[in-house]
A and B are shown apart, each in its own frame.
Chain A
C-alpha cells in the first residue's frame, strides 16, 4: 500500500468505501491523500462536511489517524514497533477497540496484563449454621404454640354456655365425620412429598432455611390470634378434654403429648379446644403446596395439579368436618400466601434487600432476620437437584482448583 501522501482522489474514494463511509465520497471526491491527512475538526464545522457528518467528523478523523499509524508502522516494520503503537500506553490498543483493522498482516506483540482473580464465591453458599438457627426458631414457635393451645384450652367457654357461632359454610353443608381424617392424611402426604423433594434439592440449606422461617413465623402469628380472643367450639360434636385448672404437671404432660403427635387428631394427641383462629392445618396444607410448586421443575404440571388437589380438598374437608370456622381458614390462607410471596419477592430482588424510602416491604418486623438469612444469596435460587449422598461423597475430595497457566 502506498503512502497516504501519494494517494490520489480515487484512492481516497476507494479507502472511504473500504472503511464503510461511502457518504463522504461525494463530499471528498476532490480530496487526495495530503488533503485527507490535513482534515481537521474545524473543517467539519462548515458545510458541506458539517452536513455529512453527524458526529462532527470524529469517526472519520479517527480512521485517518489509524491510517496514518498503519503507514507509519509499515515503514518501521522491523524497527521499534514491538509492543508499542505510536505512544499508546502499555496494554491498550486503539486498533483493537473496534476490531476492524485495515491491515491484516499486522505483526506485533501486545502485552495485556490480566490481574489475578480469585475464584468467584458461590452465589448460593450453603451456610448450614443459618439453617440451624431457622430450625431452632421454628421449633421454638411450635413449642410456644402448643403451650398457648394448652393455656387457651382452659378459657374456652363450654359449648352449652356458648353455642357454636353462625357460619355460612355450616349452614350450607352438613357435617361429615370422615372429613377431618382425610384432611390430616392429605396434610401428611403433602408434608411427606415436600420432605422428599427437599432432600433431593441441591440448595437444600437455603430452601430449608426459608421453610423453617416462614413456618415459624406463621405459627407465631397463630399464637397471638389464638390467645387474645377465644372462639367457642365450632360444633357440638367436639369432645374437649377436661380442664386442668392450675395443675401444671398434667398440663406439661399434655403439651408433650401434643408435640409428640404433631398436633394431629389422627394420632390422638389433639384433644384440646380453643385453637380456632386461625387454622394450623390450613397453614400446613397451603404452605407445603406453595413450596412444592415453587421448587419443582415447571414441566411437572401433573405433579403440581395433584398437590393442588390434595391441598384444596384437604382444606375443604376441614370445613366439611365442621372443625374450624370459615373465617379461620380464610385468614390462614391469606396470611400464608402473603407471607410466602412477600418473603420470596424480597429474596429474589436485590434492590429489596436494602432499606430505602421506596422499599416499603422492608418495614415488616422480621426484616433484619430476613437480611441475616438471605444476605449472601445472590439472585433466584435455581431448581437444581442432587442426591444427598453424592454431595457428601463430593465433600471428601477437595475441590479441584484450576489455576491460570503462565505462558511466557
Chain B
C-alpha cells in the first residue's frame, strides 16, 4: 500500500521537477538533504498540479503485483537520484559562508587571552629573581654577539609595519570573516600557551641592562594600573608600557612577527614575490634584532618560532584538507582545540581562495551591509 502511494507521488512529482530547485532556494536547505531525497518531504512542499491524476491512477494501480512494484520503485528511486540536481550557483555561495558572529567569538577569545597574558606577566614579575641573585643565563648567541642598544627598536618597528601591512591586506580580502577568525584564534591560542610557559618556570633577566620596575608585593591597585598600562601600550617598549620582566619563555614579539608574515604570505597572490620577500626580510631582521638587543634568550625565540609555525600549518591543513574531516584516523584532531576548530570551520567547505575586493567594491559592500542592517532594524 505504501509502495503504491510512493509511486503515485513519484508520478506526481515528475512533471513538476523543474520547480524543485527554485522552491528550495529561498528556504536555504543544504544541498545534501535535497539530493538524497525524501519522497514525503517533496510531496508536501510542492503544490500538486495534477490532482486529477490521483483518482484515475489509483484504480489502475490496484491490480499490480508486488514484484513489479518493487522493481519499478527501485528504478524510480534510482532515476530520482539521478535527476534531482541542485543549482551549482547556490552550492558555491554556501561553501564559504561569512558568519561574522563566529569571527566575533574568535575576537573575544583573542582579546581575553591578551588580557590574561598581561595579568600573568604582572604576576610573574613579582617572582623574577633579582639580577644580583640570579645572573643572566649562559646563551650561545650572547657569547658571539654583543649587545646593540637600538636593536630592539628595530624589532618593534618591524613588528608594527608587518601588523599594519597585514591589516590593510585583510581589509581588502573578500573572505575576511573566515580569515579574520583564523587569525584571532591563532593569536589567542599562542598567547595562551605563552601564559602557561611564562608562569610555570620563571627565567632570570637575559642581560644586566634590563631595567625592571620595582616589585609591588601586595599592592593590587598598583598592579591593575600596570596591567592597564601594558594593554594600552600594546606590550611594546616603544610606548614605554613594558617595564616588567619575567615574560621570557617564550617571546611574544617573535610570535607576532612570524604569525603576521605567515598570514601575509598565505593570503596574498603568488605572483607578488617581491612583497613576500620584503615581509620575510622584515620578519627575520626583527627576530634577529631581538637577540642582538639581548632582550630574549635564544631558546625563547626558537621555541616561539616552532610553536607558531607548527600551530599555523596544523590549523590550515586541517581547514584545507577535507578528506581529513571524515578520515577515521585523523591524528590532527587529537589536539585539545579540535572542538573549537570544528565550531569555527564547520561550514567552510573549501580552501579559502585569495580574492581581493577593489576599494570601490569594498565601499559599496560596506554601504550595503549598513543599508541592510538599517532595513532590518526598521522592520
Listed in ascending order, the chain A residues whose CB lies under 8 Å from chain B are: 17-18, 20-23, 26, 51-52, 54-55, 155-157, 161-163, 165-169, 224-225, 227-232, 277, 325-328, 330-331, 334-335, 337-338, 340-342, 344-345, 348-349, 351-352, 357-361, 363-364, 380
CB distance from B301 to the nearest CB of A (A): 9
Check A224/B302 contact, CB under 8 A, given A330-B196, A359-B317.
yes
Chain A residues contacting B334 (CB-CB under 8 Å) are 337, 341
How far, in whole Å, are A326 and B139 apart by their CA atoms in the complex?
Answer: 20
Contact of B321 among A54, A344, A358 (CB under 8 A): A358
Task: Specify the chain B residue showing the minimal Cβ separation from A358.
Answer: B320
B188 lies within 8 A of chain A by Cβ: no
| A348, B331: Cα distance in complex, Å | 9
Bound-complex Cα distance A345 to B327 (A): 10
Known contacts A163-B134, A165-B204, A229-B137; A345 and B324 CB within 8 A of each other: yes
Sorted nearest first, the 7 A-B pairs with minimum C-beta distance are: A341-B331, A358-B320, A228-B298, A229-B299, A327-B201, A360-B313, A326-B200
Q: Which of B11-19, B23-31, B111-119, B207-215 contacts A (4 or more CB under 8 A)?
A: B11-19
Question: Chain B: residues with CB nearer than 8 A to chain A?
Answer: 11, 14-15, 17, 60, 64, 68, 71-72, 75, 79, 83, 127-129, 133-135, 137-141, 196-197, 199-204, 249, 297-300, 302-303, 306-307, 309-310, 312-314, 316-317, 320-321, 323-324, 327, 329-332, 334-335, 351
* Min distance, Cβ B315 to any Cβ of chain A, angstroms: 9
Shortest distance from the beta carbon of A169 to any chain B beta carbon, whole Å: 7
Determine whether the beta carbon of A331 is less than 8 Å from that of B303: yes
Q: Are B15 and A341 in contact (CB under 8 A)?
A: no
Give chain B's interface secondary structure class. helix
Q: Which of A169, A229, A327, A352 contacts B298 (CB 8 A)?
A: A229
Contact A20 B75 (CB under 8 A): yes
Q: When the two chains form their complex, are residues A229 and B140 in contact, meaning their CB atoms are under 8 A apart? A: yes
Please judge, given known A-B contacts A230-B137, A327-B249, whether A54 and B14 are in contact too, CB under 8 Å.
Answer: yes
A residues less than 8 Å from B71 (CB atoms): 20
Taking the nearest CB of chain A, how far is it from the CB of B84, in angstroms?
10
Partner of A51, one of B15, B139, B201: B15
A262 nearest CB across to chain B (Å): 26
Asked if B127 and A327 make an inter-chain contact with CB atoms under 8 angstroms apart, the answer reads no
Q: Which of A161, A167, A228 contacts B201 (CB 8 A)?
A: A167
CB pair A168 B139 closer than 8 Å = no
Query: Which of B201, B303, B306, B314 touches A165 (beta carbons < 8 Å)?
Result: B201
The answer to whether A26 touches B199 (Cβ under 8 A) is: no
Pick the residue among B72, B134, B141, B329 that contacts A162 (CB under 8 A): B134
Contacting pair B135 A162 (CB below 8 A): yes
Given A21-B75, A162-B135, A359-B321, 9 other A-B residues pairs in contact with their CB atoms under 8 A: A156-B138, A157-B137, A167-B201, A168-B199, A225-B302, A228-B139, A326-B200, A335-B306, A342-B331
B64 closest partner in A (C-beta): A22
CB–CB A17/B68 < 8 A = yes
Partner of B200, one of A330, A351, A360: A330
Evaluate whether A169 and B200 lie within 8 angstroms (CB atoms) in the complex, with A157-B138, A162-B137 already known. yes
In the complex, how many angstroms separate the beta carbon of A157 from the nearest chain B beta carbon?
7
Chain B residues whose C-beta falls within 8 Å of the C-beta of A156 in the assembled complex = 138
Which residues from chain B contact A345 at a C-beta distance below 8 Å?
324, 330-332
B127 touches A166 (CB 8 A): yes
Q: Tell whether, in the assembled complex, residue B317 and residue A361 are in contact, meaning their CB atoms are under 8 Å apart.
A: yes
20 contacts between A and B (CB under 8 A): A17-B68, A54-B79, A55-B79, A156-B138, A162-B137, A166-B201, A167-B200, A225-B299, A227-B140, A231-B203, A325-B201, A326-B200, A330-B197, A341-B331, A345-B330, A348-B331, A359-B321, A361-B314, A363-B309, A363-B313
Residue of A nearest to B351 (CB): A358
Please tell me which one of the listed residues A22, A163, A340, A363 contacts residue B133 in the complex, with CB atoms under 8 A apart.
Answer: A163
- Interface core residue of A18, A327, A361 (most chain B CB under 10 Å): A327
Whole-angstrom CA separation of A338 from B83 in the bound complex:
46
- Chain B: CB-nearest residue to A277: B299
User: Which residues of the partner chain A approach B321 to less than 8 Å between Cβ atoms?
Assistant: 349, 351-352, 358-359
Whether the pair B129, A163 counts as a contact (CB closer than 8 A) is yes
- Chain B, residue nearest A363 (CB): B313
Bound-state CA distance A78–B330 (Å) is 62
B351 surroundings in chain A (CB, below 8 A):
357-358
Q: Which residue of A lies closest to B312 (CB)?
A: A360
Please, which residues of chain B bring their CB within 8 A of the CB of A360?
312-313, 316-317, 320
* Contact between A349 and B303, CB atoms less than 8 A apart: no
- Taking the nearest CB of chain A, how far is it from the CB of B268, in angstroms? 13
B331 partner residues in chain A, CB cutoff 8 A: 340-342, 344-345, 348
Residues of the B chain whose Cβ atoms lie less than 8 Å from the Cβ of A157: 135, 137-138
Please report the C-alpha to C-alpha distance between residue A352 and residue B324 in the assembled complex, in whole angstroms: 10
CA distance A156 to B298 in the complex (A): 16
Please indicate the chain B residues that have their CB under 8 angstroms from the CB of A338 in the complex: 310, 314
Q: Which residues of B contact A380 (CB under 8 A)?
A: 329
Known: A54-B83, A229-B298, A361-B317. A165 touches B134 (CB 8 A): yes
What is the minimal beta-carbon distance from B145 to any residue of chain A, in angstroms? Answer: 13
